[in-house]
A and B are shown apart, each in its own frame.
Chain A
Amino acid sequence: MDYNFHWRPVFKTLPDLLESAILTVEVAVLSMVLGILFGLALSLIRIHMTGPLKWFAVSWIELARNTPALLQLFFFGFGLGAFGIHFSPFLIVLMGLTFNNSGYLAENFRGGFNAIPDTQIRASLSLGMNSFQTYTRIIIPQVLRIVYHPMTNQMVWAVLMSSLGMLVGFRELSGETQFFASKTYRIFEYFAATAVIYYVLVKIILGAAKLMALRLFKY
């Protein structure tokens, strides 16, 4: 063991690393927002519909949950690329993560919807609220509480999963780290620093989620 640690290069490029960390957060947050919307839609289709739409939703959910996230990413990158459909690395990662998030969240939402008793729907309708109002005012707020913790986990997972982006050429935090590490040969130092950044990011997200839960769920 005569390895000499050199942290200087890491500190010098720290601003670049942090900038790429913002990209990581950006793609994770966007993929979560889209994932929640698609996940809600998928779960509602799976619960209420039959026919091709249901088949489509079930396939999406099954594929998202039961195949490697990396393959899902490659599909949107190289898979579609083979057909001449090309997207920017950012979009590839965004689509891959959204696909994955939607599948997992859809199943969480489905559990949430099933946990709300039918009597809540009846009570709401009997007051003259229409189905849309019933869902947006009565059902979904309660479902969101039920799925809040799984949702936070998925958010963390999205941040960590986005590191796969470097394999499709996306210079998010991991991609950027890889770039500097191979340029300077300070491989251990760079990946150690990046691990710390990921760790801090995740802790911040979990803390923020906790604070938000306190504000949102008073009952």
Chain B
Amino acid sequence: MIKISNLYKSYDDLEVLKGINLNVSKGEVLSVIGSSGSGKSTLLYCINGLEPIQQGQIIVDDIDVHASDTNLNSVRQNMGMVFQQWNSFPHLTVLENVALAPRIVSKLPKAQALEIAEKQLRHVGLGDKLSKYPSALSGGQQQRLAIARALAMEPKCMLFDEATSALDPELVGEVLDTIRLLAEEGMTMICVTHEMGFAREVSDRVAFFHEGVIEEINQPEELFGAPKSVYLQKFLSKVKK
């Protein structure tokens, strides 16, 4: 489903990704962990075509994302992305937030777009907030709104960039529950996360990022139970504290 080979990415002089190779198969849930600044967000931006790359290839659903003749807008329709910062569109109601892209990107008739939006909002537990504006939602609700908004495009895979790190602890659970629900439904996902318990529980595999490379990647039991890399051991012991 997602095939990344030999990916290099720098911001000006700063080399952030230094040769990433990664395959995510259909229905797989991959968690990405690693210390701040190791390039986790950057990887997701590259997959979504939001950042240009310097070398290598990213293939999503048989389409080379960074090929010059690729229509990024149509590639992105197959990929849902949820960001670290809440970024609901403040000038649209909850329902309009979700219905907008189906209407103007997928060009669905208005009634159908609204129907899909409502369905997805119920799915994430926001069925009673349809006509509210995002400013009336809590952080956790805004993140669930972002998830519903991405799902309304019926993506083939989802990219989560620390969807819970900006939330108050008591709101983390509801968002993780929503992501868990998607995992159970068989959605292909890459989740960058700081929640080790969550990574351990929902992922098929976990990748540990260190200074722009995948230092270790394995099933969660092995990766957390018997970490091989020294850096990973250090990282895990720091996180546990």
- The answer to whether A and B belong to the same complex is yes
> Which residues of A does B touch, CB under 8 Å?
117, 119-120, 122-130, 133, 137-138, 141-142, 145, 217-219
Within 8 A of A (CB), among B113-162: 133-135, 146, 149-150, 153
A119 to B82, CA, bound (A): 11
Q: Using Cβ atoms and an 8 Å threshold, which residues of chain B touch A218?
A: 133
Contacting residues, chain A, for B76 (C-beta < 8 A): 125-128
Instruction: Assess whether A142 is in contact with B73, with CB atoms less than 8 Å apart.
Output: no
Query: Which residues in A have their C-beta under 8 angstroms from that of B80?
Result: 126
Q: How far is the CB of B130 from chain A (nearest CB, A)?
A: 14
C-alpha gap A124/B92 in the complex (Å):
13
The answer to whether B91 has its CB under 8 Å from any CB of chain A is yes
A141, B91: Cβ atoms under 8 Å?
yes
User: Given A127-B76, A128-B73, A133-B105, do A117 and B87 touch, yes or no (CB 8 Å)?
Assistant: yes
Binding site for A on B (CB under 8 A): 45, 48, 50, 72-74, 76-77, 79-81, 83, 85, 87, 89-91, 100-101, 104-106, 133-135, 146, 149-150, 153
A-B contact pairs, 13 of them (CB 8 A): A119-B83, A120-B87, A123-B81, A123-B89, A125-B50, A125-B72, A126-B48, A128-B73, A128-B77, A142-B91, A217-B91, A219-B134, A219-B135
Residue pair A127, B85 in contact (C-beta under 8 Å): no
Q: How far is the CB of B106 from chain A (nearest CB, A)?
A: 8
Bound complex: CA of A140 vs CA of B68, how far in Å?
A: 29
Nearest CB of chain B from residue A48's CB, rounded to whole Å: 17
Q: What's the least CB distance linking A217 to chain B, in Å?
A: 8
Please give, as numbers and ranges, the residues of chain B lying within 8 Å of A117 by CB-CB distance. 85, 87
Select from chain B the residue with minimum beta-carbon distance to A119.
B87
Nearest first, the 8 A-B pairs at minimum CB distance are A128-B77, A127-B101, A219-B133, A126-B81, A123-B87, A128-B105, A119-B87, A128-B76
CB-defined contacts of A141 to chain B, threshold 8 Å: 91
Cβ-defined contact, B101 with A123, below 8 A: no
> Shortest beta-carbon distance, B37 to chain A, in Å?
18
Cβ B146 vs Cβ A123 within 8 A: yes
* B48: A residues at CB distance < 8 A: 126
**CA A138 – CA B91 in complex, angstroms?**
8
By the criterion CB–CB under 8 Å, are A127 and B87 in contact?
no
- The chain A residue with its CB closest to the CB of B85 is A119
- Closest-by-CB residue of B relative to A130 is B73
Bound: A120/B45 CA distance, A: 14
- Contact between A145 and B105, CB atoms less than 8 A apart: no
20 other A-B residue contacts (CB within 8 Å) besides A122-B83, A125-B73: A119-B85, A119-B87, A120-B87, A124-B89, A125-B50, A126-B79, A126-B83, A127-B101, A128-B74, A128-B106, A129-B100, A130-B73, A137-B100, A142-B90, A142-B91, A145-B91, A217-B91, A218-B133, A219-B91, A219-B134
**Distance in angstroms between the alpha carbons of A130 and B104 in the assembled complex:** 10
| Distance between Cα atoms of A162 and B106 in the complex (Å) | 47
With both beta carbons as reference points, the residue of chain B lying nearest to A128 in the complex is identified as: B77
- When distances are taken between beta carbons in the complex, the residues of chain A under 8 Å from B89 are 120, 123-124, 138, 142
Q: How far is the CA of A219 from the CA of B72 in the complex (A)?
A: 31
Cβ of A119: which chain B residues have Cβ within 8 Å of it?
Answer: 83, 85, 87
Nearest to A216 among chain B residues (CB) is: B91
Q: Is the CB of A127 within 8 A of B150?
A: yes
- Chain B positions within 8 Å of A122 at CB level: 45, 50, 83, 87
Look across to chain B and name the residue whose beta carbon is closest to the beta carbon of A142: B91
| Cβ–Cβ < 8 Å partners of B74 in chain A | 128
| Neighbouring A residues of B150 by C-beta, 8 Å | 126-127
Asked if A129 and B91 make an inter-chain contact with CB atoms under 8 angstroms apart, the answer reads no
Q: Which residues of B contact A137 (CB under 8 A)?
A: 100, 104
What residues on A are CB-neighbors of B153 within 8 Å? 127-128
